[in-house]
Chain A
Amino acid sequence: MVRLITHNLLACHVKGCNTNNFPLQFRDIQIELREAEFNPDFLKGFMPKIEWKALVDAARQLGDTSLPLEQPEMLDDEFLKNLHHVLLEVKEV
């Protein structure tokens, strides 16, 4: 049960696993949606930590195409709402 915020920060750390160790691949994935409080400041602060491509790919694999392929420079409300949903409200189970 992880949200994409955590998935995006996880690399495989099994000893000897150095190639292709990020991002972890989904297997038999199911998702659950869970409402969370929207907090634009948190998202803005978190932006620099995100591996953008991995996040967009993960979201697409789970059927969410709301994020642009390139990390945008302008953080408008609509973008932040989408990011909020992808990072904090979609849960892999």
Chain B
Amino acid sequence: MSRPELVAPPEIYYGDIEAKKYTQNTRNQQIQADMTYRALEILNLPPEEPAFLLDIGCGSGLSGEILDEEGYIWTGVDVAPSMLEVALEREVEGDLFLQDIGQGFGFRPGSFDGAISISVLQWLLNAETSHPTSSPPHRLNRFFTTLHSALRNPSRAVFQFYPSSDDQIQLITSIAQKAGFGGGIVVDYPNSKKAKKVFLCLFVGGGGSQQQIPKGLEGEEEEDNRVRFERRRDRERGKAKSGKRGSLKDRDWILKKKELYRKRGKEDVPRDSKYTGRKRKAVF
């Protein structure tokens, strides 16, 4: 099967049907969540300090939901209307923008304390968009230059992405450097076919010793699962203690949210029934 970015432009590939399929697939939810947690780890924000983040290619909010959970305030941009539609339906907390990142950002300098981007960058390596403007290097350049200025100094931007060759990695890092970023590539589980993950970790300012490229995770996949699982469990334990809301959108959580929306005068809040919050089979 070929990679999605080779099939069609993003806003077409992620049409209504694919956007729902992508978002409802529980395995996919898990993978995107794990990579978002890992990106946050690499982002290495000062603990206990609330931050304002940019989610680049936020899609239907699978990465953004993790930002919500972790208490960050965020803004997301994506080029696919159907994906953003699903994000709205899922009531993510972040602000959402319809925007092609290949045309650059319009944020004031120093707006964000950091940025994450999960499974997006490979799309910029493809010339194909439905409104052909310019070549991948040109789009990457505009993207990195405007991103650099939108981030505060010092800060980081962390991208998980799927490069298809070393040349692509080379192209991306050299353009990012020209835009003023420091940093480089972090590879987790480089020897595992299945678990290998590539992250681009970019720095704004901070030079020298303060900003060091973190090490990739090593070891085998099985161990990897255990480690991740324990990390996740610790997090959940911590959450229970701090009284923050858990990751599962269970029945109580849904009822609470619905109540809140009714209080705010929102119309069309579905009524509560015995089906509320039940697991559904995915229907396409």
The finding on whether chains A and B are genuine partners in a shared complex, rather than unrelated, reads yes
List chain A residues, Cβ under 8 A from B51.
Answer: 42
**Count the A residues whose beta carbon is within 8 Å of the partner chain — how many?**
25
- In angstroms, how far is the closest chain A Cβ from the Cβ of B98? 11
Chain A's closest residue to B88 (CB) is: A1
Chain A's closest residue to B244 (CB) is: A37
List chain B residues, Cβ under 8 A from A42.
Answer: 50-52, 73
A-B contacts, CB under 8 A, total: 50
Q: Is the interface of B mostly helix, strand, loop or mixed?
A: loop
* A41 adjacent to B108 (CB under 8 Å): no
* A11 adjacent to B108 (CB under 8 Å): yes
* B49 adjacent to A1 (CB under 8 Å): no
- In angstroms, how far is the closest chain A Cβ from the Cβ of B213? 26
Chain A's closest residue to B52 (CB) is: A46
* A41 adjacent to B264 (CB under 8 Å): no
* A2-10, A60-68, A72-80: which lies at the interface: A2-10
Whether A12 contacts B264 in the complex (CB less than 8 A), given A1-B95, A6-B95, A88-B73, comes out as no
Q: Say whether B37 faces chain A, with CB atoms less than 8 Å apart.
A: no
Q: Say whether A27 faces chain B, with CB atoms less than 8 Å apart.
A: no
- In residues 14-53 of chain A, which contact B (Cβ within 8 Å)? 22, 32-37, 39, 41-42, 45-46, 49, 51
* A9 adjacent to B264 (CB under 8 Å): no
Q: Say whether B227 faces chain A, with CB atoms less than 8 Å apart.
A: no
Question: What is the CA–CA distance of A10 and B96 in the complex, to the nearest angstrom?
Answer: 13
Whether A45 contacts B73 in the complex (CB less than 8 A), given A6-B95, A9-B111, A35-B260, comes out as no
* B106 adjacent to A33 (CB under 8 Å): no
Q: Which of A5, A10, A13 contacts B146 (CB 8 A)?
A: A13
Whether A41 contacts B73 in the complex (CB less than 8 A), given A11-B107, A13-B105, A49-B110, comes out as no
Q: Which of B50, B73, B104, B105 contacts A5 (CB 8 A)?
A: B73
Q: Say whether B93 faces chain A, with CB atoms less than 8 Å apart.
A: yes
* A49 adjacent to B105 (CB under 8 Å): no
16 A-B residue pairings within 8 Å (CB atoms): A1-B88, A1-B95, A2-B95, A3-B95, A9-B108, A11-B108, A13-B105, A13-B106, A32-B264, A33-B264, A35-B260, A41-B49, A42-B52, A46-B52, A51-B108, A88-B73
Chain B positions within 8 Å of A, measured between CB atoms, are 49-52, 71, 73, 75, 88, 93, 95-97, 104-108, 110-111, 146, 152, 260, 264
3 pairs of A and B residues whose beta carbons are closest in the complex = A13-B106, A42-B50, A9-B111
